[in-house]
A and B are shown apart, each in its own frame.
Chain A
């Protein structure tokens, strides 16, 4: 079955860049997502990338995909204290309404002032 793995914890200083990594095993993954979850809240979709792309940039966020190594990363430039949260990567092998997401275990990002 599919497996998505992330490191548990990352600590950075305010203003530095953060890089959160994710690996997945399903070679048929078509869509890869990054979600942010603040304490007591739901999941906020940050960005996503199709498997035929290598990179996607959206303001402070850069997603890199190495399909050969099945490695996905999320870079947050100029990290702020408000970026402190749990970040989940997720993959889906199908498109259309009613798809299943497989989530990684989440990376807790702590930003120190």
Chain B
């Protein structure tokens, strides 16, 4: 298995909802990442987990809460989001060799 999978593919939520994005990889990678990408912009790093521990938090608001239950799974819990949080959320993973492999993304719309 050489891919990163993300669910759901699309998500529409209200500002009072709580939802979660899920990411999974079975390549044995020990680092996993969350990125946010707005239209026509490059991805912006949100969080990095290395060996299941949060190693980088790029000053992301607390309404985004990451979780790494094990080395294959990465979740992003969403609560009280704003319409400006609507974006494509990308998960990636990497091993010691450094290349990051990206999932297809979750298209999030906040109403």
Contact = CB atoms under 8 A, between A and B. Distances in A.
Given A41-B104, A45-B101, A101 B96 contact: no
Given A42-B90, A43-B90, A88-B42, A97 B102 contact: no
B99 A42 contact: no
A99 B43 contact: no
B96 to A, nearest CB: 5
Contacts of A101: 45, 100
Contacts of B30: 97-98
Interface in B76-108: 90, 92, 94-96, 98-105, 107
Contacts of B92: 43
Contacts of A35: 102
A107 to B, nearest CB: 11
A99 B97 CA distance: 10
Interface of A: 31, 33, 35, 40-45, 48, 88, 92, 95-101, 103-106
7 contacts: A40-B107, A88-B43, A97-B29, A98-B49, A103-B42, A105-B42, A106-B40
